[in-house]
Amino acid sequence: MGRYALRRVAGLLPVLAVMIVLCFVAIKLVPGDPVMVLLSDQSGDVELEARLRADYGLDQPFIVQFGRYLAGLAVGDFGYSFRYANVPVSEIIGTSLAITPILALAALTLAVPTGIVFGTFAALRRNRAADIITVFLVVAGISIPNFALSAMFVYLFAIKLDLVPVAGWGSFSQAVLPVLVLAIAPMGYITRLTRTYMLEVLSQDYIRTARAKGLRNRLVIYRHALRNTLVPLLTTIGIIFGGLLSGTFVVETIFNIPGLGRLAIEGIFARDYPVTMAIVMLFTMFYALINLCVDLLYGLIDPRIRLGSDGN
Amino acid sequence: MVEIDAGRQRRSDFLLRFRKSRNAVIGATLVALVVFVAIFAPLLVPHDYEHVDMFKVWAPPSAEHPFGNDALGRDILSRVLVGAQVSLLVAVAVLTITLTIGVTLGMCAAYFGGWTDTIIMRTVDIIFAFPELILAILVAAMMGPGLLTVIVSLSIVWWPGIARLTRALVLQLKNELYVSAAIACGSPPAKILIRHILPNIVAPLMVRASIGVGFIIMAEATLSFLGIGVQEPRPTWGGMIRDGLQTLRTDPYLVFYASLALAITIIGFNLLGDGLRDILDPRVRDR
């Protein structure tokens, strides 16, 4: 297991390295830098510009700048904002750092159990009305974009029924709609997968054996079928989490939540690329970390994975 | 003669299963509706979709404008109908580009192996390291908004999946007897890949592509919604929802009809994709 874990981590490093290089080059390619922000009043003052560039290290060769950027990253320094003069990116991000993971984890916590319950429920009533309705709802849940869903929910629950606030962040009632919107698509995927795996497991010989020896139906479902259904479900959690992180870009913008997603979008419109890049980098690392955990957990549960020839 | 009969047999078999699949039939109907609307939108629209009428700003639905009017008094029905064009245009463009690149690179990676395989698959890994929509948003942000931006950014995130699938499929077929026979006969690699291997991987690729259309249309709408996708004056469903969100409390019609159009389209493609997978994938066929 130790060697498998090591191999998994080692495989991740070059990918992250290339990602960092890409982000750095991207920031350098787009026009603008902090000096231009500081000089907005006195553009044309060549001497001042040269001095500021030296202060920020922007007169150094590309490779030196990259080295400094890397050294900064190691201690959580993402450079300076293009929008606000003299404000480090880490300071802008700092206040939003906790909000987005909370949002995504809350949605995941809501989606996983409900998805498993609905999926099992549908599989056990295969091709009956309840199953057909569930399957249709799943397709609708997966298909309707989160911003359209947000608009519908806001109109229905916040404006017409006045049950929750339209937007904002800080109270439980304000979190209900964004978490619900984020949870719908993952719920759909988990319901569908649970149903598929459940049907597969229920047709296995050991289920027939369990039934044949007179085990109560409930025990067959919970002890034998559901447990084996959960293992393949685990592998999809990483992809689902990636979807949730992308979803926060939209949902935070709509519900006016001061998280990383909204900040990244604001960064795009303000041409504040260091902020957007830093957030993309954080999300990607977070995503890689989740996928790593899922892989390791899967290797722990299913020895066939870690003993496989190339670990893929 | 025998071959033709077998082909016809297979086709009628496909149609039979297609008609029996509820998903495929409903999906194909919805998709056909959307494609029809997109192609004939110029003939179907009751009004000029760009016509601004300041006396009808946010006018509620009426006999003349069944879906009402938007912030500039433009006819919402006409704009929703024309909106189908951008969604389908992007989907067709991205599919064409990603299938061409993905299948070519995936086949090369699997067939040649070695360094070719390593370089192609490492590139794929790097793109897969990003959550897909976030990468698309990033590329779109750097390129600036526009139709081309949307097509390029979605192609960048969508081709690796095709390449990976193609590679896996080709690896399975590479050691088949008929491929060895073709190599023994001295056929060049390009001919083996196109004549002997490609026809055998078309079905799973079709399933993948049809499931992908739903994602591509949703991603296009998301980029347009965020304001970094296709821009005015070209109507997009995502852009309409964005415009309508500000006045949702008083004038929900724009958001409602644009969401409805988007939902019908994506549900249609997803159902069709699911149906095709049920029909074409032998592993799930009997379930």
Sign of CA dihedral B17, B21, B26, B27: negative
Question: pLDDT-derived band of residue A42, with 50, 70 and 90 as boundaries?
Answer: low
User: Which residue in chain A is spatially nearest to B269 when comparing CA positions?
Assistant: A143
Flag whether B8 is in a domain: no
The yes-or-no verdict on residue A46 having pLDDT over 90 is: no
pLDDT score of A307? 65
- Average of pLDDT values for B188-208? 86
Q: State the best of B225, B228, B251, B281 to mutate against chain A, taking most chain A CBs within 10 Å.
A: B225
* More confident call, A296 vs A178: A178
Question: pLDDT-derived band of residue A41, with 50, 70 and 90 as boundaries?
Answer: low
Lowest-pLDDT range of A36-45, A265-274, B261-270: A36-45
Question: pLDDT-derived band of residue B143, with 50, 70 and 90 as boundaries?
Answer: confident
pLDDT score of B285? 43
Query: pLDDT > 90: what percent of chain B?
Result: 38
Measured between beta carbons, the chain A residues lying within 8 angstroms of B261 are none
- Average of pLDDT values for A218-224? 80
Query: pLDDT > 90: what percent of chain A?
Result: 21
Q: Do B270 and A139 lie within an 8 Å CB cutoff? A: yes
* More confident call, A312 vs A171: A171
pLDDT score of B156? 94
Flag whether B79 is in a domain: yes
Question: pLDDT-derived band of residue A312, with 50, 70 and 90 as boundaries?
Answer: very low
Distance from C-alpha of B253 to C-alpha of B69, rounded to nearest angstrom:
8
Q: What is the CATH number of the domain that holds B28?
A: 1.10.3720.10
What burial class does residue A257 get, using C-beta atoms within 10 Å of its C-beta: 0-12 exposed, 13-18 middle, 19+ buried?
A: buried
pLDDT score of B218? 94
Measured between beta carbons, the chain B residues lying within 8 angstroms of A19 are 126, 129-130
Flag whether B62 is in a domain: yes
Distance from C-alpha of A97 to C-alpha of B93, rounded to nearest angstrom:
37
pLDDT score of A311? 41
Measured between beta carbons, the chain A residues lying within 8 angstroms of B127 are none
| DSSP letters spanning chain A | -HHHHHHHHHHHHHHHHHHHHHHHHHHHHSS--HHHHHTSSSTT-HHHHHHHHHHHTTTS-HHHHHHHHHHHHHTT---B-SSSTT-BHHHHHHTTTTHHHHHHHHHHHHHHHHHHHHHHHHHHTTTSHHHHHHHHHHHHHHHS-HHHHHHHHIIIIIIIS--S-SS-SSSHHHHHHHHHHHHHHHHHHHHHHHHHHHHHHHTSHHHHHHHHTT--HHHIIIIIIIHHHHHHHHHHHHHHHHHHHHHHHHHHHHTT--SHHHHHHHHHHTT-HHHHHHHHHHHHHHHHHHHHHHHHHHHHH-HHHHTSSS--
Number of domains in chain B: 1
Question: Model confidence over B57-73: pLDDT tens digits?
Answer: 787 888 787 888 877 77
Flag whether B46 is in a domain: yes
* More confident call, B35 vs B144: B35
Flag whether B188 is in a domain: yes
What chain A holds in terms of domains, given with CATH numbers, is 2-89 (no CATH), 99-258 (1.10.3720.10)
Q: Do A152 and B137 lie within an 8 Å CB cutoff? A: no
**What is the distance in angstroms between the Cα of A47 and the nearest Cα belonging to chain B?**
30
Sign of CA dihedral B60, B61, B65, B71: positive
* More confident call, A262 vs A13: A262
Residues in chain A: 312
Tokens of B31: 């998709």
pLDDT score of B184? 85
For chain A positions 137-176, those within 8 Å of chain B (CB to CB) are 139-140, 142-148, 151-152, 154-155, 159
pLDDT score of A208? 85
The yes-or-no verdict on residue A68 having pLDDT over 70 is: yes
Flag whether B118 is in a domain: yes
The yes-or-no verdict on residue B2 having pLDDT over 70 is: no
Question: pLDDT-derived band of residue B256, with 50, 70 and 90 as boundaries?
Answer: very high
pLDDT score of B7? 61
Determine contact: A232 vs chain B, CB below 8 A: no
| Nearest by CB: A139 against B137, B226, B271 | B271
pLDDT score of A163? 84
For chain A positions 107-136, those within 8 Å of chain B (CB to CB) are none
| DSSP letters spanning B170-212 | HHHHTTSHHHHHHHHTT--HHHIIIIIIHHHHHHHHHHHHHHH
Tokens of A59: 């007169």
- Average of pLDDT values for A95-124? 90
**DSSP percent split of chain B into helix, strand, coil, nearest 5:** 80, 0, 20
Question: Model confidence over B118-136: pLDDT tens digits?
Answer: 999 988 988 888 888 888 9
Q: Do B266 and A144 lie within an 8 Å CB cutoff? A: yes
Q: Cβ(B89)–Cβ(B64) under 8 Å?
A: no
Determine contact: A18 vs chain B, CB below 8 A: yes
Flag whether B216 is in a domain: yes
Mean pLDDT taken over chain A: 84
Distance from C-alpha of B257 to C-alpha of B53, rounded to nearest angstrom:
20
The yes-or-no verdict on residue B287 having pLDDT over 50 is: no
- Average of pLDDT values for A147-173? 86
The yes-or-no verdict on residue B9 having pLDDT over 70 is: no
Mean pLDDT taken over chain B: 86
Question: Model confidence over A233-289: pLDDT tens digits?
Answer: 888 888 888 889 889 999 999 999 999 999 998 888 887 888 888 898 888 888 888
pLDDT score of A309? 46
CA distances to A13, A129, A155, B18 from B275, rounded to whole Å, are 40, 19, 33, 8
* More confident call, A300 vs B86: B86
Flag whether B1 is in a domain: no
- Average of pLDDT values for A88-108? 87
**Domain region containing B193:** 20-285
* SS3 (DSSP) at B52: coil
